Structure 1
Amino acid sequence: MRDFAGFSDCDSTTKKAMIDFSFHIAYGNMDEAFRAIKLIKNESVWENMCRMCVKNQNLSVAKMCLGNMRNLRATHALRKAEQADMEVPAQTAMLAIALGMRDEAEKLLKSCGRHDLLNEIHQSQCEWGRAISVAEKHDRIHLTTTQYNYARYLESQSASGTADQLNLSEDSAQSTDDNGKESFGTPAVEKAIQLYEKASTHHFDVPRMLSDNYSNLLSYVNHKNEPALYKWWAQFCESTGSIELALEYYEKANDILSMVRVLCYLEKYDEAMQLCNREGSLEDDDDPMGPYGDHLATSRSSSGFLGSSSGPTSTSSQGSAVSLASATKAACYYLAQQFESQYSSDQNPKTFQQAITYFMRAEAYTNACRLCKDAGDFDQLKNVASLGSMTDKLDAAKFLEAQETQDCRDKALQLYSMAGQGMKVGAVV
């Protein structure tokens, strides 16, 4: 009988004890079953008994068998499963894995619906085709994690030079190559790229994986035509000192803030101002906005930054428009800071006016008010504060009131009135 496999070399006392144990276990008489086997000393007998307990899902007897076997690994696996409050079949499956009973473990996990654990078993055995199949059919919540782990495995095998020994045909039918005929490396690398893309981690992991081969990396970046990858490549170019190339890819990524930052570094302030005027230029198709107008107009129509000119605006296009406005404000704020820094050194009125203009376009009214106070431009201060928050109005009004000139007191009076501070108006009058 299969339940008594491995007992052929045992003495008659051991065989009788095993028969009695099986009989009492079948009738559920646990006390008599334990008495029948308490004198057994052979570890192989205990191991076979533990295997029987796995098939019967009798964990109480299995624990006693493990204690006599002195199998710490299996004991730890069972204890860990109990502490995790797993179902009895799942606990038994963990014990079965520790005892090398893979088929029994898979049956038990399927019976209790623990396909997540079954997925982990396949991954631990590098059975990636079966792991992805289980994830796709029964464990969708861990599908992207499985794909990511498979990609990391392929990447490690490719780096160690053992990728040629892999069999990638078992799940090739399940994967569609989005890259057409263009190749970015070995079959293992190609497969890893596909899996990283499915796991939505390719913006970081693919550049990292291909970082040793710049030609393949650049081909991949250009082929995918995704702003996140363009920005990654632009940042890489900037870090290596290829400023002009970085500017080109920041342009492709529509990263206005980074473009303005690089243009300011190159001291091309006129072009930076053209970019900061982007929102108004995009509303007028006849104004191409200088050297960046053609590309940005194309990006607007292809990427939907401001939505379609006909029909109702979709939610995604509204979100893109908001994102574009925020990026433009950030770029205007950065440019205004550059002009403010220049003004502090050259005291040029034109530079001062440019700083105020771009602070206002960035809606950074507090910064604009501070600059007006430092420059002593009270007329500009009153105009800027009137557009700001109540705090900006009150701060500017107090500053103007302290100047003790009639013109400043009149301006303070207007700002107090705008801020709804009627009592202050009376005090100033």
Structure 2
Amino acid sequence: MYSYFSGDRFVYPELDFSESVWEHMAQMCVKTRRLDVALVCLGNMGHARGARALRKAMKSGAPQEVQVAILAIQLGLIVSSALLVPGLYIEEARSLFASCGRYDLVNRLLQSHNQWNSNSKLTIVGNRCRRNLIQAFEVAEHNDRIHLRNTYYAYAKYLESLGANEGAIENYEKSDTQRFEVPRMLFDDPKVLETYVKKRRDPNLQRWWAQYLESIGDLDGARGFYYASKDYLSVVRLFCYNGCIKEACSSATEVANTTADKAACYHLGRYFENEGDMNSAVHFFTKAHAYSSAIRLARDHGMKDKLANLALMAGGSDLVEAARYYEDIPGQADKAVMLYHKVRR
């Protein structure tokens, strides 16, 4: 590559390299400090932002170490202050990252030094002690909003490591990761976790806690949390578990009728069908809008008075089948005619 350089002029005979090759050569320029070659590589990579930042640094007369650091930043070779030029302090590193427009790296740099907000502890670097004027949250809120939630999450993990659970919970909520992280953090203290779930009133957390209670055999507690999360199917399912005794059947029926939840009604319809209570099964299949199942039971068990209304609600091919059913029954021709008329309309 360097053999194509002649003095200050770059001469090359139609180099047809892939973008990955140009990127590799640009990375080599960091080691060899050939910034002139790096500009050509960045241009062929189509890395306009990197070329602009490097050219600006070269024109400003910045030290070569800083220019090389800027090139490395643009190529993604510097991701933390540990890889910066020796002797570069955190404020100088922050300024360098900011000058490149890499506020995501400014954010990560401040996080790595636990500089979260204005209440963070003092930064000690070498023999120097100072407080950063710009903290991680301020950078995230104003210049790096795409990583704001990640910043809250990282801060929550930091607080959790210090045992500050209340602060960790608050920041997990701000990062919208509380549905997984808070149960994980509090799982060894079930009473505290249950209190949090009740206080939060998050349907997803309530459903998860209900599933946990069900797994350990606390069915009454599980039903309560399923109901709070509006998972009425699970409420009815637990009522039907091990057979519906009279009180449980009454409660399950009340839940299904009150909420009109289609999944709960369908489950109860299947239960009553298996138990041989066809009238109740047809009723709940109808509430679940499972008209084909309701029509099947009504036809198979001679419910002539219900079949016509069910067919009208279902429509389509169910109307034709119901009309043919009535056509074969003496004295029911008027219903067959009415259903055929509905089909033609």
TM-score clears 0.5: yes
- Give deviations 1:274-325, integer Å, cap 9, x for gaps: 112215xxxxxxxxxxxxxxxxxxxxxxxxxxxxxxxxxxxxxxxxxxxxx6
Aligned to 1:376: 302
Aligned pair partner of 2:268 in 313, 335, 338: 335
- Give deviations 1:323-355, integer Å, cap 9, x for gaps: xx6xx2222122111111211xxxxxxx21111
- Within the alignment, does 1:234 sit opposite 2:210 as a pair? yes
Aligned to 1:420: 344
- Give deviations 1:102-149, integer Å, cap 9, x for gaps: 655533432343323332444455544433331122222221122123
C-alpha deviation, 1:99, in angstroms: 4.3
C-alpha deviation, 1:385, in angstroms: 0.8
Aligned to 1:113: 101
Aligned to 2:59: none
RMSD of Structure 2 on Structure 1 (CA):
3.4
When structure 1 is superposed on structure 2, of 133-142 and 334-343 the one drifting more is: 133-142
Map 1:285-324 onto structure 2 (within 5 A).
Answer: none
Structure 1 residues 400 and 115: alpha-carbon distance in aligned structure 2, compared to 1, 3 A threshold: farther
Aligned pair partner of 1:66 in 31, 36, 49: 31
C-alpha deviation, 1:233, in angstroms: 1.7
Rounded to whole Å, the distance in 2 between the matches of 1:272 and 1:61 is 70
Which secondary structure state, in structure 2, belongs to the residue aligned with residue 363 of structure 1?
Answer: coil
- Within the alignment, does 1:136 sit opposite 2:141 as a pair? yes
Which secondary structure state, in structure 2, belongs to the residue aligned with residue 265 of structure 1?
Answer: coil
- Within the alignment, does 1:256 sit opposite 2:240 as a pair? no
Aligned to 2:84: 100
Aligned to 1:310: none
Residue type matched to 2:269 in 1? A
Aligned to 2:183: 207
Relative to its length, the structure with more helix (as a share) is 1
Aligned to 1:245: 221
Residue type matched to 2:31 in 1? L
Rounded to whole Å, the distance in 2 between the matches of 1:147 and 1:256 is 35
Does the aligned pair in 1 maintain the 2:30–2:72 contact within 8 Å? no
Rounded to whole Å, the distance in 1 between the matches of 2:223 and 2:340 is 46
Aligned to 2:249: 269
Aligned to 1:411: 335
Aligned pair partner of 1:194 in 166, 170, 183: 170
Map 1:385-400 onto structure 2 (within 5 A).
Answer: 385-400=311-326
Aligned to 2:290: 364
Does the aligned pair in 1 maintain the 2:236–2:264 contact within 8 Å? yes
Structure 1 residues 367 and 64: alpha-carbon distance in aligned structure 2, compared to 1, 3 A threshold: same
Aligned sequence identity (%): 37
C-alpha deviation, 1:241, in angstroms: 0.4
C-alpha deviation, 1:62, in angstroms: 8.0
When structure 1 is superposed on structure 2, of 114-123 and 205-214 the one drifting more is: 114-123
C-alpha deviation, 1:271, in angstroms: 0.9
- TM-score, structure 1 normalization: 0.55
Which secondary structure state, in structure 2, belongs to the residue aligned with residue 149 of structure 1?
Answer: helix
Does the aligned pair in 1 maintain the 2:272–2:281 contact within 8 Å? yes
C-alpha deviation, 1:210, in angstroms: 1.0
C-alpha deviation, 1:410, in angstroms: 3.8
Aligned to 1:87: 49
Structure 1 residues 377 and 131: alpha-carbon distance in aligned structure 2, compared to 1, 3 A threshold: same
C-alpha deviation, 1:232, in angstroms: 2.1
Aligned to 2:58: none
Count residues with an aligned counterpart. Answer: 273
Rounded to whole Å, the distance in 2 between the matches of 1:366 and 1:253 is 30
Rounded to whole Å, the distance in 1 between the matches of 2:236 and 2:46 is 54
Does the aligned pair in 2 maintain the 1:230–1:250 contact within 8 Å? yes
- Give deviations 1:42-80, integer Å, cap 9, x for gaps: xxxxxxxxxxxxxxxxxx9984461489xxxxxxxxx99
Does the aligned pair in 1 maintain the 2:30–2:71 contact within 8 Å? no
Rounded to whole Å, the distance in 2 between the matches of 1:84 and 1:368 is 65
